[in-house]
Amino acid sequence: MHVTVLRDYRFPPIEQSYAAKDAILYALGLGYGGNPVDPSELTYVYEEALKAVPSLCVVLAHPGFWAKRPEFGIDWVKILHGEQSFEIHKPIPAEGKVRGEYEIEAVDDKGPEKGAILYQTKRLFDAAGDLLATVRSAVFLRGDGGCGSFGQAPATPSALPDGPPARRCEIATLPQQALIYRLSGDYNPIHADPAPALKAGFPRPILHGLCTMGIATRALIQTFAPGEPERLRSMFVRFSKPVFPGETIVTEFYVDGEDVRFRCRVKERDIVVLDRGRATIRGL
Give catalytic residue positions: 186, 191, 206, 209
DSSP H helical ranges for 108-264: 177-181, 194-199, 209-224
CA triplet 153, 4, 147: central angle to 5 degrees?
A: 65
Torsion (CA) 226, 44, 280, 216 in degrees, nearest 10: 90
- Is residue 221 within 8 Å of residue 230, measured between CB atoms? no
| DSSP run (H or E) holding 266 | strand 259-266
Cβ count near 130 (within 10 Å): 10
CA atoms within 13 A on the CB side of 24: 12
